[in-house]
Structure 1
């Protein structure tokens, strides 16, 4: 054991407030693992929620584990020290239960790296009775768990607050009875929202297409996503405070889910229905944050859609705190919200039209028009905000080259407007390749050809190369296409992830696909049939498949779908 690595964890813990620590032997230990750095992981509100939920039980000591930074990883490997938990610096393999938080596809490679560094067997079927049970939750686990089906013993499908209490009760009961690993998993598979992939066989035809998913006898044929009906019953805010995070805020969740029906957005379909916390409960959490003096970071799919946003802004600033928001919509943002952000020191106002042309915004059902963008910019300028950012995508279904030209035209006119109003600030375009996601209307559509996306990126960069104060930032195309394969991948893609790990990680993924007899193009560029069996077909998000396909047809016709409303029963969730 390397004592300097241990001391580094102790030092980091000493800079925190609010962590839980229980004496050894008083509770059963559980590792909550974020497969990325401490800096990134401690900005994940889901990690804070589950950490508190588990530690507030009387039988569980939940400790956090993060991926060591590159320099530290080298030291762990050289000294043969297993990665350790924050709270008591225990090796990962000593925890009987290991729970991963999966938020991003690229972190799948880190999952394998962390298990290896923690001396935990990578493949679930090779773990014995004394080995840890490995589970995973979070957005990626909910939408498509199959790429990690050979690694993870059980997945949490939905929102952990309503699944984990029942999961842990069954887990502890099985342990008290001394049940074998397989019997334990059989019991867990009966818990609503728990998916145990080893009990489901995937059948393929001669062309390698998935044709059936068959559960073992006694195993549910489908696993239904579980979700919180009353958010006020489950507080969601920062639990452990540290200055060493990507977003150095005190995070408070205002709402969950979104009813706007943007057709590309996985969260919009899988976190339905939209739910708001009461203003009283949020302001109570704001008051609880007062002793820490941190900026309040409001979390939600679209903060400006919160029905009492103006009153909430007044409450936060009235307490002498500053604030920031995860996102807002240009068509619902208010002058009070913008002014509150400006008063809190916000320098850059971010808007997400996603597309430049009215046609493409109709295709994706964004619901934002140019007038909304200019009005939001006007409010920002009036509040003293000088810089603006646009989130955009290229390669959307039904997109053509003139739609790229429309991005250039829109950005140019927005910059002109800034200058007309006397602002010499910067307009930044953050442009990402579109990636089709499960449980969305675009799950049937291919990604755009990589050469098309690269050409579009070059065109955008060249268009503003000589214009001052317009920046074009683009996501790594290579990483986007790895995500594209994984997002809709099946268990065979999981084998390629394991092979890539052997070959050195994500950079070897394309080679790993070939060595596993797979072609990336089959996952990226193929239109799916209407009745195709998807790898996630045994999961039920509550949204009917025929509704999603109708939305795809409406996208093709550029037809609008109105947001969720009380009494609506269109998609099936309600």
Structure 2
């Protein structure tokens, strides 16, 4: 190991609190890797939870690995040494299992790079009985694993706190039986609910390249049921370190799932049932954060929807602690929240109307009115928070030029309202192109053509050219790559393999050309609702017609009310899944 790598890893570990390190060889060994650099990866609470769960067992150890940053990558490129784990400094190929926790499409390009650097055969088809088993979890595994199917042996479809234990137990049983790789994979797919093994399913295509059938091997389940988890395990910072985006914070998940039914939102469907953590637990976690001298970071899909949010904020402030949270629902924000945020030093209120016109917000089922926005701004301004940031999407299904004008009109009305209440601070619009996601009512929809989105963005830039208004726009190239990866089939996996040969994301266009991959057709062709989708192997528990019914409601702007106690509309709560503890 070069001294530069050793020093970099020593420096990282010296600043951590909470990491564990068992002697290598005393237990079965698993490495876990969020496919990005340390500062990004260690901001991911899900990866830290799995690290805790595996190391809490008596028979396994879990170590971490990360993509080197730019400076350290130069060292690896120069020396050719393998990527190693942080704790025991072992090459990834020394571990029985490599767990990949994948959350974002653009990280897909890092997966083959990490495997290559870790001395693990990049393609699952090239691995033998003695090679590391590559297992993928994380949100990507919940909705469409196919673009990464060339690289992974096993996909864990579900929330990992309990799931990881049933998987490791079955893995141990299979190994004890002396099963070879293929038979071990079959054993896992048959005996562990939620285990998806891509190599055990054959995808068949028609002459136009559309998936028409997904055929499992004999004895393998045709559908893999997504696994759910009651919030009875801690979900808070496991390893505290200053070297992350949220390094000053102690992260606490206070709720999981969202029942608002926004029709564009993958997270709202893949984590459908809203579940909240008991206030007593969250308070105890706050106190653990206090012991470390950290600011409290509240995690959840909609923080202001947490039923005990005012009491929690009051408790945090009474402890003399600052806190922060993600974007707030404009229709559930309270004076207590904004006062607490202001006292915590927050200078910006972040709201997510997603669209400027009522017409568009009805289509996406956002459920937020302009009055909600203005009331939230009033509360924030009164508390001393003057900067307003709003998330907006362009290129949504059924969007018209009038809806784009609606973004301008809404922004100007917000600006006028702020001026009327004495708030002359900046407005920031964070604008992103809409990307269709699997398991949402818009999964069949085409992306709006790039040239149309460019025209609409240029219109917004001109119409909102104002010193008080800032526009932050996601690069369109990245968005349209994500559009392919989000709904990609296994041919997109082949495209990733070829792109890796040409340097990753920078080789994307060259790879597509060489493979004759029709990117435009893939993005812009609307799919029939009876089409076989690449992710149809996964059963999320939704009523089969639920998404198509929601798409019809979108076309008429019909509102779907949020989840409520006793609701059985989509069957995620109750129905045939009652036996796994959902109520």
2:228 corresponds to: 227
2:88 corresponds to: 88
1-side partners of 2:219 and 2:318: how far apart? Answer: 57
2:495 corresponds to: 496
Would you say the 8 A contact 2:12–2:243 is kept in 1? no
Displacement after TM superposition at 1:154 (Å): 0.4
SS in 2 for 1:189: helix
Of 37-46 and 374-383, more deviation after overlay is shown by 37-46
What is the correspondence of 1:76-475 to structure 2 with a 5 Å cutoff? 76-190=76-190, 191-229=192-230, 231=231, 233-248=232-247, 249-465=249-465, 467-475=466-474
Would you say the 8 A contact 1:510–1:520 is kept in 2? no
Displacement after TM superposition at 1:6 (Å): 1.7
1:510 corresponds to: 509
Displacement after TM superposition at 1:244 (Å): 1.0
Displacement after TM superposition at 1:120 (Å): 1.2
2-side partners of 1:430 and 1:52: how far apart? Answer: 35
2:579 corresponds to: none
SS in 2 for 1:100: strand
Would you say the 8 A contact 1:95–1:132 is kept in 2? yes
SS in 1 for 2:545: helix
Q: Deviations over 1:286-305 (max 9, x none)?
A: 11222111111100000000
2-side partners of 1:462 and 1:91: how far apart? Answer: 53
Displacement after TM superposition at 1:75 (Å): 1.1
1:476 corresponds to: 475
2:565 corresponds to: 566
Would you say the 8 A contact 1:300–1:327 is kept in 2? no
Would you say the 8 A contact 1:296–1:323 is kept in 2? yes
2-side partners of 1:261 and 1:168: how far apart? Answer: 34
Displacement after TM superposition at 1:451 (Å): 0.6
Q: How many residues align?
A: 571
Q: Deviations over 1:387-423 (max 9, x none)?
A: 1100000000000111111111111121222222222
Unaligned residue ranges in structure 2 (runs of 5+): 574-583
Would you say the 8 A contact 1:493–1:513 is kept in 2? no
Would you say the 8 A contact 2:298–2:326 is kept in 1? yes
Q: Deviations over 1:182-216 (max 9, x none)?
A: 11111111211110000000011122111110110
2-side partners of 1:58 and 1:313: how far apart? Answer: 38
Q: Deviations over 1:14-58 (max 9, x none)?
A: 110000111222211111001111111111111111111111111
How much is the aligned-residue C-alpha RMSD, in angstroms? 1.0
Displacement after TM superposition at 1:263 (Å): 0.1
Displacement after TM superposition at 1:366 (Å): 0.1
Of 306-315 and 538-547, more deviation after overlay is shown by 538-547
2-side partners of 1:174 and 1:7: how far apart? Answer: 39
Q: Deviations over 1:110-149 (max 9, x none)?
A: 0111111111111001011111000111111211000011
Q: Deviations over 1:45-80 (max 9, x none)?
A: 111111111111111111111111112112101101
Q: Deviations over 1:502-561 (max 9, x none)?
A: 011112213212322320122211111121000001100111231100100110101100
SS in 2 for 1:444: coil
Displacement after TM superposition at 1:273 (Å): 1.0
Would you say the 8 A contact 1:77–1:117 is kept in 2? no
Displacement after TM superposition at 1:100 (Å): 0.5
Q: Deviations over 1:214-234 (max 9, x none)?
A: 1101111100100113x1x11
Q: Deviations over 1:359-382 (max 9, x none)?
A: 000000000000000000000000
Q: Deviations over 1:298-353 (max 9, x none)?
A: 00000000111000101111111111112320001111011111111101110000
SS in 2 for 1:163: helix
